[in-house]
Amino acid sequence: MVNLDQVIASSPVIVLWGEPFAHRPVDFITSNVDQFGYTVPEMVLEETPFFSVVLPDDREHVRQEFADAMERGDDFLVSDYRIVTRSGDIRWVEDRIAFHRDDEGRAVLYQSSLLDITDRKIAEMRLRESEERLARVLASSHVGVWEYLPERDEITGPGRASIFGMREREVPVSRSALWDRIIPPSARADLERMWRDIADGRLELLDREHEIIRGDGSSGWVLTKGFPVRDENGALLSMQGVTVDITSLKNAERKLLRQNRHLALLHDISLAFMEELDTEMLVRRILESAVELAGAGNGVISILDDEGKNLIHRWGVGFHTWYIGKSRNADTGFFGEVLRERRMKILRDYRTYGNRMTDPILENVTTIICLPLQRGGRLLGIIGITYVDEIPEIDESLPALLDQFAASASIALENARLYEDSLREVEERKKAEERLRFHQALVEAAAEGASFLLSLESTDQAMLFALRALGDAMDARRTVLFRNSADPHDGLVAEVMKRAVVSEGQEKILLPQRLIWKKDLLKLYPLLSKGVSFHGSLSSIGGEDSRLASLDPSVTVTAIPILIKSAFWGFLVLCFDEERAPFETDEIDVLRAAAYNLAASVIRWESEHEVKQGYEKLRKTFSDVIRTMGQIVGKKDPYTIEHQERVGVLASAIAGKMGFDEERCEGIRIAGLVHDVGKIEIPGEILSKPGKLSAIEFELIKTHARSGYDILREVEFPWPVAEIAHQHHERMDGSGYPRGLRGDEILPEARILTVADVVESMVSHRPYRPSLGIEAARKEIVAKRGVLYDPEVVDACLALLEERPGIIPVQ
């Protein structure tokens, strides 16, 4: 049988009572007080007064509660407080006190039951701390946890404040009142519809992003998720949910979309820039794209002039169209500041800028963005973007974007410039090639005319063919040869010796058979008589009563004077039915030679007595034509002119030493004069290159033998000049070019020309080396006698050099 002491000892409740005095004496206490380390005697005898075991921090309010309850006449008092055990531990106790009163209501006894509630108290405190921590986390993370009660149409729950703009201690609020406060009208209709669908069971989940209005009036974005709780019949009991503030995410998303849109636009713009090679169109596209990127309505793009001192406004949009075509000093104003610093700058308020321009057009300009255009350290120009009557909010990513844009625009402008430069270079090269072809055609025509004059028995036919050949080569409509003669009545006149109609139907440039110098050719005589050629309008060369004044003023003529023994013999006229650029000096020289050939032929045909003299002059003229052909090459390579002259002299002398007759020696001399004419097709920079030629350049040089042959084979020389020039780089052992001929396959004249060419080349200076001297030349031909060079030719050359050491001037 269990006795009372055992029951008390095992009970967690400590029972005590005493008289109802303020210091709360203990008259009785159960023995299980020892769970706090105290004994019954010390508590009853007040060795340890009751309030001494109460934690000092709680002691005063416990004493006051006890006194107040007695005074009020309360029958019961329940209080929680902390006590200190004998070992110093702090424990929580629940104190349930009953007051026993007499008939008059005076307390005569109190009875107390103490229960250790430390574990429960700690749990409660931890729960409270967790709730407070959760609330702080929800507030800092911008997450609101809420519950919707459909019976009262209320929203309640922790964490609402940070999302819904409510006060932290605010009582539950009705949904409609809350929404009127925080949901803008634009988002309310859809949210109401979804809410009704959930309430009616048509929707299982609330999941929506929408705008809200915060307590401070600012707008934001939230993600609201609601999870309905239903009874067994599907009726909505409540809805629990979370609302997350996604304003920063939404702003970041918008910013990212904007950046992506800008980057896509920049990419498209860059591609468009690379495809546009017309500079005028490119500058327009650059400016219009820059204004679009910046979201402005006005802008100007200006390009620096060649000296870099002035900005030329190439294109403008908005009010800047007024500036198109104008220029300004590149060192002034905000533009000048940006160009000096070579970096993009944003002027937030132009109205306060110290160097503001006084132009009235700029009166309402507020913000300016300036982008320098530069490539490879060279400034190209500048883009100015302007805003009017507003100071815009400039996205933080825009400067970097515009910097990339300016880099792409600069590359595109530089590419367009290089492209246009290359087009100009190609055009100039084309013109040079056309001019060269024209020179070649003119030389061929002169040579062909000379050939006609020499070979045809019919003087009339020879003259006609010669004049027509010249007219064809120069695209002239008429070629006419005039000769001076004396008339008893009119004095000196010019009579047509022969005319060639190159193109029919050109009546406007028909010339009379006979022209009077004092009347018809009044302005032409002072020039031609002194050997000066004329180029200009046909109708402008006579006096007021000239028969030529009535001709079409667009007709252009070139008149080449012919002087025979310093006497003004006549002139050659080339007529063109439209304006034409003057001939170049070397072309005039060829025409002079051709005109002289014509006059010389006339003189030869006129008198049997002068046939021989005329023939010699013709041969001299022919040599001049050939020399002129060589001089054309000399325009590219000055060394070639004297080289061909000296090679012709030396080769002719070697041939004479070998017993060749005079006529054959002359043929070899003529071949020497033109043996390098094929170099006309070699670029001048290769011919004059001061250093060693590359393999490709040398292969190009080697083509001149074949090119010379192609030029010369069309001329009817009395000697095999074309073939001699073709073979002058062939060698006896077959190692030469262009055909690798050997031994007797090479013409004797070509073998002579080969040795003369080698000796003269070694003795002469070259762009890539100084003269090697005559001894080096001797050693070369002796060492390779019978291998590269004909032994008989080498022996004759050595003997000639011994007999006539000055035949090749040593440089």
Task: Look at residue 696 in the predicted model and tell me its pLDDT.
Answer: 84
Instruction: Give the tens place of pLDDT for each residue, 104-132.
Output: 888 889 999 999 999 888 888 887 776 66
pLDDT confidence of 162, banded at 50, 70, 90? very low
Lowest mean pLDDT among 17-21, 544-548, 775-779: 544-548
Name the most confidently modeled range: 196-205, 353-362, 510-519: 196-205
Instruction: Give the tens place of pLDDT for each residue, 208-221.
Output: 888 888 777 788 88
Which residues have CB under 8 Å from 701's CB, separation 6+? 679, 682, 686, 687, 693
For residues 157 and 693, give the distance between their C-alpha atoms in angstroms, rounded to a whole number: 92
Instruction: Give the tens place of pLDDT for each residue, 233-292.
Output: 889 899 988 888 888 887 777 777 666 666 666 666 666 566 667 888 888 888 888 888
Burial 744-757 (b: 16+ CB within 10 A, else e): eebbbbbbbbbbbb
In terms of C-beta density within 10 A (0-12 exposed, 13-18 middle, 19 or more buried), how is residue 211 classed?
A: middle
Task: Look at residue 405 in the predicted model and tell me its pLDDT.
Answer: 81
Task: Look at residue 781 in the predicted model and tell me its pLDDT.
Answer: 92
Q: Is the pLDDT reported for residue 656 higher than 70?
A: yes
Task: Look at residue 168 in the predicted model and tell me its pLDDT.
Answer: 44
Q: Across residues 81-101, what is the average pLDDT?
A: 93
Count the neighbouring beta carbons within 10 Å of the beta carbon of residue 741: 19
Task: Look at residue 264 in the predicted model and tell me its pLDDT.
Answer: 65
Higher pLDDT, 511 or 581: 581
Task: Look at residue 169 in the predicted model and tell me its pLDDT.
Answer: 47
Q: Cα 811 to the chain's mean position, in Å?
A: 53
Q: Is the pLDDT reported for residue 775 higher than 70?
A: yes
Q: Is the pLDDT reported for residue 617 higher than 60?
A: no
Higher pLDDT, 269 or 727: 727
Instruction: Give the tens place of pLDDT for each residue, 382-399.
Output: 999 999 888 887 777 788
The DSSP result for 702-762, as a single string, is HTHHHHHHHHHTTS--SS-HHHHHHHTT--TTS--SSS---GGGS-HHHHHHHHHHHHHHH
Task: Look at residue 608 in the predicted model and tell me its pLDDT.
Answer: 47
Which residue stretches of 505-636 are H helix?
525-528, 585-606, 611-634
Percent pLDDT > 70 in the chain is 85
Percent pLDDT > 90 in the chain is 22
Task: Look at residue 734 in the predicted model and tell me its pLDDT.
Answer: 94
Q: Across residues 709-720, what is the average pLDDT?
A: 85
Q: Is the pLDDT reported for residue 784 higher than 90?
A: yes
Please give the C-alpha separations between residue 780 and each of 107, 652, 692, 753, 784, in angstroms, as whole numbers.
Answer: 151, 20, 20, 15, 6
Going by the DSSP 8-state scheme, the letter that residue 392 receives in this structure is P
Q: Is the pLDDT reported for residue 810 higher than 70?
A: no
Task: Look at residue 259 in the predicted model and tell me its pLDDT.
Answer: 65
517 close to 525: Cβ distance less than 8 angstroms: yes
For 209, the token pair is 């992003």
Q: Across residues 766-784, what is the average pLDDT?
A: 85
Q: Are strands 365-375 and 378-388 parallel, antiparallel or unpaired?
A: antiparallel
46 close to 27: Cβ distance less than 8 angstroms: no
Task: Look at residue 263 in the predicted model and tell me its pLDDT.
Answer: 64
Ordered domains of the chain (ranges, CATH): 4-116 (3.30.450.20), 125-245 (3.30.450.20), 259-421 (3.30.450.40), 456-608 (3.30.450.40), 636-807 (1.10.3210.10)
Higher pLDDT, 661 or 431: 661
Task: Look at residue 92 in the predicted model and tell me its pLDDT.
Answer: 94
Name the most confidently modeled range: 481-485, 759-763, 770-774, 783-787: 783-787
For 792, the token pair is 């008989």
Q: Mean pLDDT for the chain?
A: 82
Task: Look at residue 763 in the predicted model and tell me its pLDDT.
Answer: 87
For residues 807 and 645, give the distance between their C-alpha atoms in angstroms, rounded to a whole number: 12
Please give the C-alpha separations between residue 718 and each of 70, 149, 201, in angstroms, as whole numbers.
Answer: 158, 124, 117
Lowest mean pLDDT among 13-22, 259-268, 643-652: 259-268
Going by the DSSP 8-state scheme, the letter that residue 134 receives in this structure is H
Higher pLDDT, 169 or 677: 677
pLDDT confidence of 668, banded at 50, 70, 90? very high
Residues 28, 32, 36, 38, CA torsion sign: positive
For residues 190 and 534, give the distance between their C-alpha atoms in angstroms, rounded to a whole number: 94
Phi, psi dihedral angles at 153 (to 5 degrees): 50, 45
Q: Is the pLDDT reported for residue 82 higher than 90?
A: yes
For residues 779 and 798, give the distance between their C-alpha atoms in angstroms, rounded to a whole number: 10
Task: Look at residue 136 in the predicted model and tell me its pLDDT.
Answer: 61
Lowest mean pLDDT among 537-551, 574-588, 741-755: 537-551
Task: Look at residue 629 in the predicted model and tell me its pLDDT.
Answer: 63
pLDDT confidence of 156, banded at 50, 70, 90? confident
Instruction: Give the tens place of pLDDT for each residue, 515-558.
Output: 887 877 778 888 888 888 888 887 777 766 677 766 677 778 88
Q: Which of 264, 357, 296, 389 has its CA nearest to residue 287?
A: 296
363 close to 351: Cβ distance less than 8 angstroms: no
Q: Cα 330 to the chain's mean position, in Å?
A: 23
Q: Which of 137, 164, 135, 136 has its CA nearest to residue 148?
A: 164
For residues 388 and 722, give the distance between their C-alpha atoms in angstroms, rounded to a whole number: 78
Q: Across residues 222-234, what is the average pLDDT?
A: 89
